[in-house]
Amino acid sequence: MAISAMHYTGMIAYRVQGTIQWDMGYLAASVIIAVTLATLALGAAGRGGKGSVLWMTGLLALAIILLHFTGMAAFQVTPLAAQPLYANPVEYRLIALIIAGTAAIIALAALFSYVVENRTRNESVEELRQARDAAESASRAKSEFMSVLSHELRTPLTIVIGYASFLSELKRHNLAKLEPEEKPASEHFTKMGDQAELYGQRIKFAGGQLLTIINDILDYTNMELNDLALDKTPLIRACYWRKWSSSTMGRRMTRRPGCISTPPLTVTADRRRSLQLLGHIVGNALKFSKARDIHLRARPHAGGFVFEVEDNGVGIAAQDFDRIFEAFTQIEDADDRAEGGTGLGLAICKKLALAHGGDITVKSTLGQGTIFTVFIPGATQMAEPATLAQAS
Q: What is the pLDDT of residue 391?
A: 30
Q: What is the pLDDT of residue 250?
A: 43
Residue 390 has pLDDT above 80, yes or no: no
Q: What is the pLDDT of residue 21?
A: 80
Cα distance between residue 309 and residue 256, in whole Å: 14
**Choice between 147 and 72, residue whose per-residue pLDDT is larger:** 72
With the C-alpha atoms ordered 246, 247, 251, 254, is the resulting torsion angle positive or negative?
Answer: negative
Cβ neighbours of 378 (radius 10 Å): 16
What b/e readout covers 76-99, taking b as 16+ CB neighbours within 10 angstroms? eeeeeeeeeeeeeeeeeeeeeebe
Q: What is the pLDDT of residue 373?
A: 92
Query: Of 272, 271, 293, whose CA–CA distance to 282 is shortest?
Result: 293
Q: How confident is the model at residue 389 (pLDDT cuts 50, 70, 90)?
A: very low
**Choice between 195 and 145, residue whose per-residue pLDDT is larger:** 195
**What's 122's DSSP letter?**
H
Q: What is the pLDDT of residues 41-75, one digit of tens each?
A: 888 888 877 778 888 888 888 988 888 888 888 88
DSSP 213-280: HHHHHHHHHHHHTT-----EEEEEE----EEEEE-SSSEEEEEPTTPPP---EEEEEEHHHHHHHHHH
Read off the pLDDT of each residue in 353-378 and give the average, rounded to a whole number: 88
User: Which domains are seen in the chain, by residue range?
Assistant: 2-123 (no CATH), 141-224 (1.10.287), 232-381 (3.30.565.10)
Cα distance between residue 129 and residue 121, in whole Å: 12
Q: What is the pLDDT of residue 370?
A: 92
DSSP, collapsed to helix, strand or coil, labels residue 299 as strand
Residue 311 has pLDDT above 80, yes or no: yes
Contact 245, 252 (CB under 8 A): yes
User: SS3 helix, strand, coil % of the chain, rounded to 5?
Assistant: 55, 15, 25
**Choice between 131 and 265, residue whose per-residue pLDDT is larger:** 131
Cβ neighbours of 104 (radius 10 Å): 10
Q: pTM for the complete prediction?
A: 0.47
Contact 149, 342 (CB under 8 A): yes
